[in-house]
């Protein structure tokens, strides 16, 4: 069980991240796991004075994820990694590596989710 966990949605994630930032929390990392054929679970991990705060968002695989890189610039690396590894699309991503942060061009399947093919843009 994750302590200090708050559930967020696509509509509330940015405002909750901004609240944590304004309260002095720093982004530690984000993590993602496949829940089923249609959804992934995205967790946002924050720290302030060795106290963790976590946000969880159940995300449809086929919907764009609101990027938090406009609020916390460092998030662009983890968001690009999730794009590479889970095939997620981020709306408003400040710097988009277009699935080339970790993946070579010849990779055609998303490594961390079931049956997702990479479509080059």
Q: Which residue has the higher pLDDT, 92 or 115?
A: 92
21-64 pLDDT, tens digit each: 999 999 999 999 999 989 999 999 999 999 999 999 999 999 99
Predicted local distance difference test score (pLDDT) of residue 113: 64
CATH class entry, domain 5-91: alpha beta
The model's pTM = 0.85
Cα 51 from chain centre: 21
Residues whose CB falls within 8 Å of the CB of residue 25, separated by 6 or more in sequence, listed in order: 46, 47, 48, 53
Query: Can you give the residue ranges of every domain in the chain?
Result: 5-91
pLDDT beyond 70 at 118: no
User: Could you give the CA distance from residue 40 to residue 70 in angstroms, rounded to a whole number?
Assistant: 22
Q: How confident is the model at residue 100 (pLDDT cuts 50, 70, 90)?
A: low
Residues whose CB falls within 8 Å of the CB of residue 43, separated by 6 or more in sequence, listed in order: 2, 30, 31, 32, 54, 55, 56, 57
């Amino acid at each position: 069980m994750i302590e200090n966990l708050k559930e967020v949605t696509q509509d509330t994630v940015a405002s909750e991240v901004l609240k944590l930032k304004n309260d002095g929390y720093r982004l530690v990392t984000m993590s993602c796991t496949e829940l089923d054929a249609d959804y992934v679970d995205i967790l946002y991990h924050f720290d302030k004075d060795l106290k963790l705060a976590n946000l969880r968002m159940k995300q449809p695989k086929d919907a764009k994820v609101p990027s938090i890189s406009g609020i916390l610039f460092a998030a662009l690396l983890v968001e690009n990694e999730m794009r590479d590894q889970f095939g997620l699309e981020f709306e408003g991503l400040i710097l988009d590596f277009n699935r080339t942060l970790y993946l070579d061009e010849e990779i055609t399947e998303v490594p961390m989710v079931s049956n997702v093919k990479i479509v080059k843009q």
